[in-house]
Amino acid sequence: MRVVCVLLGVLVAGARAVVLPQITEPPCDSLEAEAAAAFFQDYINAQRTTGFKFALNQIDKIKIRTLPDMEIYKMELDLLETKCHVLDPTPVAACPVRTKAEVAVDADCDVAFIKSGGVLKVTEHRCKTEPESAEDMCLGCPQLLPLNDTNALQMATVSLAAFNNRTANVSISKYAVLEVGRLSTQVLAGGTHVFAEYAIVETNCTTTDDGDCVPLNKAVATYGFCRAGSASAGMAVDCRIFEPQLAVEPAMNGTVPATNSTVPTTNNTVPASSGIMPLLMVDMMLSAESAESLDPVKVASVIPIVKRQAPVAETVAPGGEPAAVPFVPICPGKKKHF
Ligand SMILES: *[C@@H]1O[C@H](CO)[C@@H](O)[C@H](O)[C@H]1NC(C)=O
Ligand SMILES: *[C@@H]1O[C@H](CO)[C@@H](O)[C@H](O)[C@H]1NC(C)=O
Ligand SMILES: *[C@@H]1O[C@H](CO)[C@@H](O)[C@H](O)[C@H]1NC(C)=O
Ligand SMILES: *[C@@H]1O[C@H](CO)[C@@H](O)[C@H](O)[C@H]1NC(C)=O
Ligand SMILES: *[C@@H]1O[C@H](CO)[C@@H](O)[C@H](O)[C@H]1NC(C)=O
Ligand SMILES: *[C@@H]1O[C@H](CO)[C@@H](O)[C@H](O)[C@H]1NC(C)=O
Ligand SMILES: *[C@@H]1O[C@H](CO)[C@@H](O)[C@H](O)[C@H]1NC(C)=O
């Protein structure tokens, strides 16, 4: 402990001249938190080329460091997998998330943003994605299969052949499997069902061609998405071809004008004059609180991180002891789904 105190003293003394940044922790459901989270949601969905879109479920944490020319946001966000493939032009707001019974997939993200000149930009993100644990799943709920499950992949192939064969002698594009997104199995009254969800891409063949078919060039190909299911009674397939997306949307170049909402001053602000939070320690404080640090920089880990406690409002009951009123947490924010 003695070492720690000495170090602290040195840091404080050495940091006198540094302009101390102001840290604010707005409520997780505040407009600015929502705006940043929505921005990240769009960013992450625009960035990915495989898998399903993710929708914001909950804002777990937000810290904003205000510097003279910019604000640095650090947030922890919780997103849920939707049923829309990333190539599906459906806006994520219109994409249903997978329910728990359908084996929801959850993404925990640590995100850093810079807001400068009214423009928000994602500078770093780290997401950990995993299916919700099977513990609270019902009997007869779908079970995920590994994406290399031979049986289910075979079913997917056959189902796409059936889709390609949908028009007997009209010559239209043939599609090929682009990516298998989800395979599952479910025990139902009629026996064991197998389900496949996969993205498809237009090939250079038409439905009347045989032989070598290769996916068309990205610039001209159309894409689609199929859901197929089979049981002993037979197979069903439902494919939707997406409207061609003409140009790659330039809006998602990492920067989009952010909302102009000003940071509401909250009383969670670290007083800039307190003198115990030099810049160096602020960095550590921001990163040390999440297990997955966004800042790979490790600085003097012997220094204890002084976590600020949630303030406890004290009221004095008439003629009695001060009664501690529990502080109503402003984070995490409310869950949008479950
Ligand atoms: C699927 O992949 C896993 C690990 O990558 C492997 O152990 C397993 O043998 C594979 N199964 C099949 C059917 O290819
Ligand atoms: C294609 O459809 C025709 C009838 O529409 C059917 O006779 C044929 O077996 C189908 N082929 C495949 C590969 O499904
Ligand atoms: C093509 O379709 C027409 C009308 O649907 C049908 O009469 C004809 O027999 C079909 N030809 C072949 C080769 O399947
Ligand atoms: C599609 O492209 C492949 C490879 O270039 C070629 O071998 C094949 O003949 C083409 N198929 C058609 C129907 O043009
Ligand atoms: C992204 O934006 C930067 C700066 O505005 C620009 O230089 C760059 O070319 C853009 N990249 C793409 C892929 O549009
Ligand atoms: C947002 O901020 C920009 C520049 O800071 C300003 O030009 C614009 O008028 C503001 N918009 C609104 C709606 O306040
Ligand atoms: C913060 O607290 C101070 C005094 O404790 C009070 O004067 C001020 O109005 C508070 N600010 C907000 C935004 O609640």
pLDDT in tens, 192-213: 999 999 999 999 999 888 889 9
Best residue among 166, 167, 169, 208 to mutate for probing ligand 3, ranked by most atoms within 8 Å of CB = 169
CB 13 within 8 A of CB 252: no
pLDDT band, very low/low/confident/very high, at 223 (cuts 50, 70, 90): very high
Which residue has better confidence, 260 or 246?
246
Nearest CA residue ID for atom 3, ligand 6: 118
pLDDT tens-digit map of 98-127: 998 888 999 999 999 999 998 999 999 999
**What is the H or E stretch that residue 122 is in?**
strand 119-131
Of 56-65, 116-125, 212-221, 287-296, minimum mean pLDDT range: 287-296
Rounded Cα–Cα distance for residues 187 and 316 (Å): 61
pLDDT score of 296 more than 60: no
Stretch among 124-133, 212-221, 280-289 having the lowest mean pLDDT: 280-289
Of 62-66, 78-82, 128-132, 290-294, give the lowest mean pLDDT range: 290-294
CATH class assigned to 18-137+253-306 = alpha beta
Checking if the pLDDT of 231 tops 70, the result is yes
Pocket test for ligand 6, best of 116, 256, 260, 262 (most atoms within 8 A of CB): 260
The residue whose CA has the least distance to atom 11 of ligand 7 is: 267
Q: Which residue has the higher pLDDT, 318 or 250?
A: 318
Does 112 sit in the ligand 4 pocket, CB within 6 Å?
A: no
pLDDT band at 259 (very low <50, low <70, confident <90, very high): very low
Strand-pair category, 223-231 with 143-145: unpaired
Per-domain residue ranges of the chain:
18-137+253-306, 143-241
From the CA of 223, how far away is ligand 3's center (Å)?
27
User: Which of the pair, 71 or 323, is modelled with greater confidence?
Assistant: 71
The answer to whether the beta carbons of residues 81 and 88 sit under 8 Å apart is no
Mean pLDDT of 17-46: 89
Phi and psi of 337, rounded to 5°?
-120, -80
Task: Give ligand 1 pocket residues (Cβ under 6 A).
Answer: 146, 148, 150
User: Average of pLDDT values for 129-138?
Assistant: 70
Q: Would the pLDDT of 275 be above 50?
A: no
- Tokens standing for residue 170: 């009209």
Say which range, 122-126, 191-195, 245-249, 334-338, has the weakest mean pLDDT: 245-249
Q: How much is the mean pLDDT over the chain?
A: 76
Q: What share of the chain is helix, strand, coil (3-state, %, to 5)?
A: 20, 35, 45
- Measured from the alpha carbon of residue 170, the closest ligand is 3
pLDDT of residue 142: 87
- Pick one of 2.40.160.20, 3.20.20.150, 3.10.450.10, 3.40.50.720 as the CATH number of 143-241: 3.10.450.10
Instruction: Say how many Å lie between the CA of residue 174 and the centre of ligand 2.
Output: 14
Whole-number pLDDT of residue 244? 83
Position 328 scores a pLDDT of 59
* CA proximity to 330, closest of 33, 23, 21: 33
* Same fold: 18-137+253-306 with 143-241: yes
24 has a pLDDT exceeding 80: yes
What phi, psi does 153 have (nearest 5°)? Answer: -65, -40
Ligand 5 atom 10: the closest Cα is on which residue? 253
Separation CA 109–CA 220 (nearest Å): 34
Summarize the confidence of residues 71-95 as an average pLDDT.
96
How far, in Å, from the CA of 204 to the mean position of ligand 4? 6
pLDDT of 302 higher than 80: no
Three-state secondary-structure class, residue 266: coil
**Number of residues that make up the chain:** 338
Is pLDDT above 80 for 12? no
pLDDT at 34: 96
Taking the complete model, does pTM exceed 0.75, yes or no?
Answer: no
Local confidence band at 139 (pLDDT 50, 70, 90 cut-offs): confident
* Residue nearest to ligand 3 atom 1, measured at CA: 169
Q: Is the predicted pLDDT of residue 304 greater than 70, yes or no?
A: no
Hey, what amino acid is at 94? Answer: A
Residue from 144, 147, 148 to probe ligand 1 pocket by mutation (most atoms less than 8 Å from CB): 148
